[in-house]
Structures are given as C-alpha cells and as structure tokens.
C-alpha cells in the first residue's frame, strides 16, 4: 500500500531518460541509478509507518500455523501444523479439497442442465411424441423414459441418414458402420 512513495516522473527539463548501461566517468550507470534521494526515502518511511499503524485494522496473518505465520523469522524448534487451510505445506486428502468439490458440483450442474435440456427437447419433439415404441413385456418405461429413448433413436436415425447421404455423394463403394455420436444421447445409456 504505497501512497507517498509512488510518483510519476515529471520530466527532466526536456531531456530524455538515459541508458542504464555502460560507464560514466569510470562509474557504472546502474550503480549511480541505485542512489535513493532523501525525498523518496522519507516517502517510503511515511508509507511504512502508515502500514504499521493501520495493520491491525485490515491485515491479519494468512496462515494460522505458527511456523508459517512467522515467515522467515521461523525457528527450527517450531513445527508445521499441516492442517489444510492453516499451513502452507498441508495437502487436502483426495476428494476433500474444496476446489475439487466446487469443480465437481459445477460439472454435475452442467451435466444436469444438458440432460434436462435433452429431456425437454425430447418431450417437445413431435416425431418423438407421435412415434410408437414396443418393448418386451418384462421391460417397463414410464412416459419420460420412453420419450428419451425415442429421442435417442431419432438422433441415431438422423445421424445415420446424414452420414449415408454424405457417403452417397462420394464415388466408389463404402462399407459403412455407424454408431450413435451424440454425447448427450450416449450418456443416457
């Protein structure tokens, strides 16, 4: 939180900035540029004082682990707690990491959305709703499951027809085997 030490260059009475390479009067230009003007030093001191005075109001140690919170001043006698969320060296057990859980929830929501969209499309499709489906008497479907199965069959048929038309335009004989390619229809299986 530098407030006083940050200042824009106001120019050098029309002179351009110099290069920081090479010697000037037997002195290295980089070394000469490392001199800190007293005004800049006072500004940095003001910013540090301001930070220390306001620290209790807005800054809190990120790590709760005693050794991690000490930073470079850590002692060899203090041990890391290795508790996830408190120590920088801690690791969540597989599947317990909150980031992984959020990612899995998001993926599941996307999958549910796509499946719901497919189901809605199946229930609104005229071909699906008019079509009749006969199955073995041991297999029973409710109306929603029947609509989804019919929609998968309609997708398979549409894909097959388009592939056959595409191959029909090409010359020569083709041995053609086709599997359902629609990923949403495949995931219902």
Concatenated DSSP letters of 33-62: HTPPPHHHHHHHHHHHHHHHHHHHHH---S
Q: Identify the pLDDT of residue 59.
A: 43
**pLDDT > 50? residue 83:** yes
Please indicate, yes or no, whether residues 47 and 80 belong to a single structural domain of this protein. no
Please indicate, yes or no, whether residues 144 and 104 belong to a single structural domain of this protein. yes
Please indicate, yes or no, whether residues 80 and 106 belong to a single structural domain of this protein. no
Please indicate, yes or no, whether residues 68 and 54 belong to a single structural domain of this protein. no
Summary mean pLDDT of the chain: 80
Please indicate, yes or no, whether residues 19 and 41 belong to a single structural domain of this protein. yes
Name the least confident of 42-46, 52-56, 83-87: 52-56
Q: Residue 76, Cβ neighbours under 10 Å: how many?
A: 6
Please indicate, yes or no, whether residues 87 and 105 belong to a single structural domain of this protein. no
Distance CA 14, CA 12 (A): 5
**pLDDT > 80? residue 138:** yes
Q: pLDDT class for 61, splitting at 50, 70, 90? A: low
| Mean pLDDT to the nearest integer, 122-139 | 82
Residue 16's domain comprises 1-60
Looking at the structure of the chain, the number of domains it has is: 3
First to last CA, the chain: 57
DSSP string, the chain: --SSS------BTTBPP--S-SEETTEEHHHHHTPPPHHHHHHHHHHHHHHHHHHHHH---S--SHHHHHGGG--TTS-----TTT-TT--PPTTT-HHHHHHHHHHHHHHHHHHHHHHHHHHH-HHHHH------TT----HHHHHHHHHHHHHHHHHHHHHHHHHHHS-S----------HHHHHT-
Q: What are phi and psi of 27, to 5 degrees?
A: -115, 145
pTM above 0.75, yes or no: no
On whether the CB atoms of residues 142 and 150 are closer than 8 A, the answer is no
How much of the chain exceeds pLDDT 70, in percent? 86
Please indicate, yes or no, whether residues 20 and 3 belong to a single structural domain of this protein. yes
Please indicate, yes or no, whether residues 71 and 139 belong to a single structural domain of this protein. no
Q: Identify the pLDDT of residue 179.
A: 66
Q: Identify the pLDDT of residue 34.
A: 83
Q: pLDDT class for 185, splitting at 50, 70, 90? A: low
Please indicate, yes or no, whether residues 109 and 144 belong to a single structural domain of this protein. yes
Please indicate, yes or no, whether residues 69 and 55 belong to a single structural domain of this protein. no
Please indicate, yes or no, whether residues 112 and 137 belong to a single structural domain of this protein. yes
Among the ranges 21-35, 64-78, 79-93, which has the highest mean pLDDT value?
A: 21-35
Q: Identify the pLDDT of residue 42.
A: 92
Please indicate, yes or no, whether residues 80 and 148 belong to a single structural domain of this protein. no
């Amino acid at each position: 939180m530098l407030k006083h030490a940050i200042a824009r260059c106001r120019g050098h009475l029309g002179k351009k900035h110099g290069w920081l390479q090479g010697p000037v009067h037997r002195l290295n230009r980089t070394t000469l540029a490392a001199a800190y003007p007293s005004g800049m030093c006072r500004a940095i001191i003001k910013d540090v004082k301001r930070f220390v005075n306001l620290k209790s109001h807005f800054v809190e140690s990120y790590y709760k682990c005693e050794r991690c919170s000490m930073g470079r001043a850590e002692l060899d006698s203090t041990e890391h707690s290795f508790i996830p969320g408190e120590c920088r060296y801690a690791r969540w057990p597989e599947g317990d990491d909150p980031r992984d859980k959020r990612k899995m929830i998001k993926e599941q929501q996307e999958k549910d959305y796509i499946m719901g969209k497919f189901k809605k499309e199946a229930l609104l499709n005229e071909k699906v709703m008019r079509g009749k489906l006969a199955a073995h008497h041991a297999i029973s479907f409710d109306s929603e499951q029947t609509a989804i199965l019919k929609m998968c069959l309609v997708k398979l048929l549409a894909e097959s027809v388009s592939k056959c038309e595409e191959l029909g335009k090409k010359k020569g004989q083709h041995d053609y085997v086709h599997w359902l390619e629609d990923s949403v229809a495949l995931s219902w299986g």
